[in-house]
Amino acid sequence: MPDTGDTRTTHTPHARGDPPTTLLPRLLPAPITLLAVCTFLVYFPCAVFSVLVKYSGYLEHMDKPFASNCFRKTPRLMKLGEDITLWGMELGLLSMRRGELARFLFKPTYAYGTLGCPPLIPPNTTVLFEIELLDFLDSAESDKFCAFSAEQQDQFPLQKVLKVAATEREFGNYLFRQNRFYDAKVRYKRALLLLRRRSAAPEEQHLVEAAKLLVLLNLSFTYLKLERPTTALRYGEQALIIDRKNAKALFRCGQACLLMTEYQKARDFLVRAQKEQPFNHDINNELKKLASYYRDYTDKEKEMCLRMFAPYDNGSTVGEN
């Protein structure tokens, strides 16, 4: 087992305006020793949050980890206290910063206890964990807010609702990047429900509409990924009600119509999108795709008509028969 001397890097106090300090002190409980730290970015998680983390756990004199998620191409988002329940790992993560790589020694009290976890973990075992905190999302505020009834939610100020909706959308974006489109859709719809249910003063309504627009665009794109173009078109058109010249909304509607083989509607939406952003490669490529699809469609129509009226071997035609 490596030397347990504390070789943590030191951190200077933050100036006014910098990110807040971590909720837990940098000094960990005695049974947890911080071996090495590499800090890249300086942002702190809060006490209840969901983390994107890579970890590997090692026993003494073992080269291969007994537990690891480093083999995953894309680690999944995990919540402290639910997905991560190892006490030492929770405390270690709470002392870390986004982008930080650290190695910890966990005494049995903060790991697997006096009994261990036979046959893998012997009794009374100290374990080494290498942990990299890639990212985190503050889920405490969102989870607590969504647990309230609609009447209770209405008592909170608008900024609170906007913040929770933004957090839900961030969760959706994370899940979308993992290609978990169904789960992303659920998060986006939660955000949209919060925004639709909230009434705002006339001078603040534009804030709600701006937040809704982002969520509607996300939903339209997500339903395209789920191969449900009808629903994607519906959300895209709702986005256009908020901003009728929004190029992204016009583009999503055009994509949806193309998937539904409604070529004229697709062309109308895409031409409008091109008018707003004439040099957008995605829009221009989609118009080329539309032209190709429509050409194939007309060729097949012509071929079908020719077959319908093609002469038989005896010289008669289908129409004559």
Contacts of 12 (CB under 8 A, 6+ apart): none
Alpha carbon of residue 146 to chain centroid: 18
Determine if residue 24 is left, alpha or beta; phi over 0 gives left, psi from -120 to 50 gives alpha, anything else beta. Answer: beta
Which residues are bridge partners to 135 per DSSP? 52
pLDDT tens, residue by residue, 20-38: 334 343 445 555 556 544 4
Q: Quote the pLDDT of residue 132.
A: 94
CA 58 – CA 126 distance, rounded (Å): 9
β-pairing, 100-106 vs 127-137, is: antiparallel
Handedness of CA 163, 164, 166, 171 (dihedral sign): positive
Q: Pick the closest to residue 43 from 70, 14, 16 (CA basis).
A: 14
CB 266 within 8 A of CB 258: yes
Mean model confidence pLDDT for the chain: 82
Closest CA to 253 of 239, 243, 169: 239
Place of tokens 């910890």: 104
More confident residue, 85 or 23: 85
> What is the spatial distance between Cα 300 and Cα 296, in angstroms, rounded to a whole number?
6
More confident residue, 147 or 204: 204
Q: Where are the domains of the chain?
A: 32-138, 141-308
- How far CA 276 is from CA of 28, 204, 216, 243, in Å, comes to 55, 27, 19, 12
Distance between CA 37 and CA 112 in Å, rounded?
24
Length of the chain: 321
Tokens of 243: 């901003």
The SS3 call for residue 111 is coil
The model's confidence at residue 284, banded by pLDDT at 50, 70 and 90, is: very high
Class of domain 32-138: alpha beta
Q: What are 79's strand-pairing partners? A: 50
Q: Please confirm whether the linkage preceding 229 is cis (ω < 30° from 0).
A: no
pLDDT tens for residues 255-267? 999 999 999 999 9
Cα–Cα distance measured from residue 3 to residue 303, given in angstroms and rounded to the nearest whole number: 78
Beta bridge partners of residue 33, listed in sequence order: 105
Question: pLDDT of 99-134, one tens digit each?
Answer: 999 999 999 999 999 999 998 999 999 999 999 998
For 38, list phi and psi in degrees, rounded to 5. Answer: -125, 110
Q: Closest Cα partner for 181 from 226, 233, 215, 229? A: 226
pLDDT exceeds cutoff 50 at 6: no
d(CA 229, CA 224): 5
| Cβ proximity of 112 and 121 under 8 Å | yes
Q: Residue 292 carries which side chain, given as an amino acid letter?
A: S
Percent of the chain at pLDDT exceeding 90: 51
* Superfamily grouping for domain 141-308: Tetratricopeptide repeat domain (1.25.40.10)
User: What integer pLDDT is reported at residue 200 of this predicted model?
Assistant: 84
